[in-house]
Structure 1
Amino acid sequence: MIDATRTLAAARKIEVIMTAGIVILIGFACIGAVASVVSPTELAESIAHRAGYVTAPLVLWQSLALIAILGAHLALWLALLFVARRLFRQLRQGNPAAAVQSARWVAYLLWIMLAWGLASQALASVAATWGYPEGSRVLSIAFGTPQISVAFSALIASFMAQAFALGAELWQDHREVI
């Protein structure tokens, strides 16, 4: 007989980690929301500086654009963590068939994160450098280590979704035999 105790315990631990990640990201989102109301330009200049842009003073639309881009990143990460937590909860509860759908959503969200990461980099570079003199503005499009890491993660998640589907079928067959 198959003993799934260790797997179920590991799923519970990872579910707790995902919950902690959600709490931390919600905390950052709340801090960001307060900062965007209190001092949107200062927050946006900090975002631009951390992205590597020495900014001229930003106007309001540039600040709001950079804050919105960061907010979209946070929203995507939150969605990914919520779906991943649901995936591990379903595994812990012994419901592999439902976990298959969650695993597919994790893969889809990772592909969306990759596309958004590339698009947001271009949008952020334009917003951050719009105040530069003509000829000095930047449109940055790059495919580096972070994007390659997300692409590999998405590929692995896509494969894992297929493996979960096969595992769910085998688990169901095992239950029917016993």
Structure 2
Amino acid sequence: MKIKDKNYKDFSNRRPYNDVPCKDGEELVPFVVNWEMVKHFGMNQDNLETWNFRGKKVLVAFTPVKESGKDDAMKIFNKQVHDLLNQYANQSEDLSLDKMLDDMADEDGKGKDPTGTASLEDTVFLGMVIKELIAEVCKKNSKYGRILELIAEDYDRGEILAELNLGKSQGYEDIKRAQALIKELFFK
């Protein structure tokens, strides 16, 4: 990826969507949001920005990611923007709501739901939900929270036991309980 200037990939002067500061080894990256996501997650609207791409406005928020994952996160963001801009590429500016609804109901499959979320947005959205759930678990039990953070970072059970200096029997039980707690919070 060609870097246009030093600010092209440096978002340290921005604030995360939820006002939770970056931890050591994390950096902020942008992601595309819509107002439904903003309301659902109670995002701080003061931390959002509207960026213009090819004359189209795109609502952007920022979230922390590990420094090692920043390039991948930027690729995801660029894909989100690309998909969003292409969503309307074949539509005229004066397309009516009635016409869009008729096209959506048409059986030829060419109509698009402008309120639908892209698969990439769903993935980012799910990541945000998981991050918030892990934070809730951390508040209730810091050890279980740390276990879930390691699981989210793709540690296997053996690596988790070694990282947290847990014995096998107790460690496996702790992992099981941490997973049960996050599942309980998710379905609340």
Is TM > 0.5 for Structure 1 vs Structure 2?
no
Higher helix share: 1
Q: Which has the higher contact order (CA 8 A, sep 6+)?
A: 1
TM-score (norm 2): 0.30
Higher strand share: 2
TM-score (norm 1): 0.31
